[in-house]
Structure 1
């Protein structure tokens, strides 16, 4: 049993139980690469006892373990019956096969909305006999305000699909792909082929190079207005075409173009203007699409670490809490208010910048995250959140995690991962050898093995986690 420490004493007070830590994490940290920082805390839920605490009150980047906060806050604020709604509305009248008035397309941040589902709304309108719209097309995206990116998101990741803006209008995850044909002679330029369903432009001059120059090549995407993308750089010759995915940058222009195209495809004439007012619009509902219910969205968010679902929920929680268009800053206020008042989580000086964990501004200590896990475990009969956590060796982001795929850990560890460059986090639960439930939080930041190959750079992490969680199981 390790010595009684000040950090352990403080952690114990938070859970109204002064206890001796039984697992000494310090010796195991020597396995990690030099320079790595580790914060770890674990609690035996059955005994209400902290059994390990190493830097449990040190602020670190939570990365995607942040989604644990988002999932819990969404359950408490929105409820299991919540669904995102996308609808067609009007203040006018449908008569003589015409809509006399404006057509309102109301988006509320559905992160799973597809172009096919959106088209279904216009097909429904067509079935109601509408062949022509005598008015304007109003895109209502007023549910969210300010930037569609969180503060602290890395600028050179913004064109990546995992960084797609979680805007009020999300179509096919606000992600598109472009086919590149680099089967050219050295010195020639790559050909870009954009699928016709995407209202975007991709251009550039990417040169095909020989084997000597290829290791120094890099492709860069430069974003221009109205969803125009310029690709620069060079590439080695590729015998087969391949695709590159990009995040939509101007979601409003993208949605406007798709809506007008789908109206034409549905055989509905429209010659008015496209407007996007800042104030919410209300009218008679002509067609409606509802997302999957909240529990299914949360399960996808947690299992696949879906950033768009997380940040759409993050701002939606704020919208429902404050009854006003929600920014990321308002999302932070709402999440802290809900979790501090309803789950009694003490955030202290923690910084919550988004709901996904993408932001490098987030700062949370392991003990604060443990409070959320503790609340989930003790209220699981009402929350039903534990089933949403990835299961070691089974599904989600820890299905193949090398440290957890052997007995007794496989199928026994339920944990949300958190990964950024240099960050390897876990937050979740396991059952020990005595059948008792353990909640744990692992924050590893600053992990680097220098220039080691990808196949070997995680070896210290696998060894550290394997020893730690086997010790946790045996305790």
Structure 2
């Protein structure tokens, strides 16, 4: 048996160890946040493998775009650095006397970076092969993905906005288009819509021009109709210069088909066939192919700019590659959890993963689960090279101008993925403390509101909280 003295020594050592790494007292700092805010936080010293601060680390919250950390890691582990999205042109016929006798098959696989210019150059290769007429139909093969092109829990009245553009198999120019509104007219008249000719869409409606006194009571609403027709209603104040509005493409297949037909006509390739959308993958002779940038480049853009299109395209592509079947968002959720649990040892428990971007209000993750991904990244960075994709405080990406992180010792020291939705201000990333040790941290802030001060001092409490918190962690 141990003597009383030895027991006291052991107990004292345990207390010292606990106090040394219990670290930061979060509750006093959290008083900076507006009343009603929910906070979940955890930080771990990677070098010493010790939790140095935690507060509600197992409380489920909306991860918002910090969800992209999961997506980036899963893509690295399942797809690999050589992966590229492919957009291909095939045919089930043959070329004879400048005629393509058979169907033209355009196979889209969800390339989130595909532009209309790149698609034109792809189709131009048909002209270079001597094709001047297509005696068949145009088959759009979008079988890589299936079911809805938006995840459950995406907010309905955001669906017409470009950050909610559907990450469909056919994705051209981010499935987003722009319209100029000319409101430089007398009060009482209607706005004019100027639609760039390259967009095969219709925009119409009645938006009246009102006085400055009436303008605060105005609102613009977009109503989406079939075949990519958009009706704009409401009123605005008189504007001296035209201003642009962006909208998400709704019918992505019709949009892609219309662009292809226009580009074939521009190339002088005659086509009078039908547009068909086969449900099964199409086979044929390869005529031309476009490859996206490799995965590391896509991940860097996704993480630095918080690109939702790339995130959700990868989310379903992981499932397509893993299960070799058309991928829905539901299958994407299953695939992501399977990859990260089997290859990175991440335990998701009762977490809800609805998409890869974090747009869904159905996502539920706790800080402790997100920390598992960060610690795995830190310990395998030599092979993953993912930390270089995180935005750098005061330098680039979505934290280049974050007020709480733009002064020493946080400037250029904190690298973190942001996550922002209405009332949500999250961070997940790394910093180096005063002793040169690597710290991984997860900050989930949900339910943040400054009420009547929303438009004036909205971020002031957040800046105060984050500045004090991360400077204290640096000093630990």
- Structure of larger gyration radius: 2
Are 1:362 and 2:363 counterparts? yes
Q: C-alpha separation between the residues in 1 aligned to 2:435 and 2:117?
A: 51
In structure 2, list runs of 5 or more residues that go unmatched. 1-17
Q: C-alpha separation between the residues in 1 aligned to 2:454 and 2:32?
A: 18
Corresponding position of 2:245: 244
Q: C-alpha separation between the residues in 2 aligned to 1:31 and 1:238?
A: 40
Are 1:397 and 2:398 counterparts? yes
Corresponding position of 1:284: 285
Corresponding position of 2:44: 43
Q: Give the 3-state SS of the residue equivalent to 1:457 in structure 2.
A: coil
Deviations 1:185-233 (A, max 9, x none): 1111111111110000000010111122110000000000000000000
After TM superposition, the structure 1 = structure 2 runs for residues 238-317 of structure 1, keeping only pairs within 5 Å, are 238-317=239-318
Corresponding position of 1:33: 34
Q: Give the 3-state SS of the residue equivalent to 1:456 in structure 2.
A: coil
Q: TM-score, with normalisation over the residues of structure 1?
A: 0.96
Q: C-alpha separation between the residues in 2 aligned to 1:344 and 1:19?
A: 28
TM-superposed deviation, 1:183: 1.1
Deviations 1:43-81 (A, max 9, x none): 000001011110000000000000000000000010000
TM-superposed deviation, 1:100: 1.1
After TM superposition, the structure 1 = structure 2 runs for residues 341-360 of structure 1, keeping only pairs within 5 Å, are 341-360=342-361
Q: TM-score, with normalisation over the residues of structure 2?
A: 0.95
Deviations 1:378-430 (A, max 9, x none): 00011000000000000000000000000110000000000000000000000
Q: Give the 3-state SS of the residue equivalent to 1:221 in structure 2.
A: strand
Corresponding position of 2:148: 147
Q: Give the 3-state SS of the residue equivalent to 1:350 in structure 2.
A: coil
Q: C-alpha separation between the residues in 2 aligned to 1:208 and 1:54?
A: 51
Q: C-alpha separation between the residues in 1 aligned to 2:354 and 2:190?
A: 42
Deviations 1:275-301 (A, max 9, x none): 010101111110110000000000000
Are 1:444 and 2:445 counterparts? yes
Q: C-alpha separation between the residues in 2 aligned to 1:341 and 1:136?
A: 44
Q: C-alpha separation between the residues in 1 aligned to 2:241 and 2:119?
A: 34
Compared with structure 1, are the counterparts of its residues 351 and 261 closer, same or farther at alpha carbon in structure 2 (3 Å cutoff)? same
TM-superposed deviation, 1:454: 2.9
Asked whether the equivalents of residues 19 and 49 of structure 1 are also in contact (C-alpha less than 8 Å), the reply is: no
Q: C-alpha separation between the residues in 1 aligned to 2:133 and 2:271?
A: 6
Q: C-alpha separation between the residues in 1 aligned to 2:454 and 2:284?
A: 59
Q: How many residues align?
A: 459
Q: C-alpha separation between the residues in 1 aligned to 2:402 and 2:106?
A: 43
Deviations 1:282-338 (A, max 9, x none): 111101100000000000000000000000000000100110000000000000000
Deviations 1:62-113 (A, max 9, x none): 0000000000000001000000000100121112111111110000000000
Q: C-alpha separation between the residues in 2 aligned to 1:134 and 1:190?
A: 44
Q: CA RMSD in A?
A: 1.1
Compared with structure 1, are the counterparts of its residues 452 and 18 closer, same or farther at alpha carbon in structure 2 (3 Å cutoff)? closer
Structure 1 stretches of 4+ moved >6 Å: none
Are 1:411 and 2:406 counterparts? no
Q: C-alpha separation between the residues in 2 aligned to 1:237 and 1:447?
A: 34
TM-superposed deviation, 1:453: 4.8
Corresponding position of 1:334: 335
TM-superposed deviation, 1:27: 0.8
Q: Give the 3-state SS of the residue equivalent to 2:452 in structure 1.
A: coil
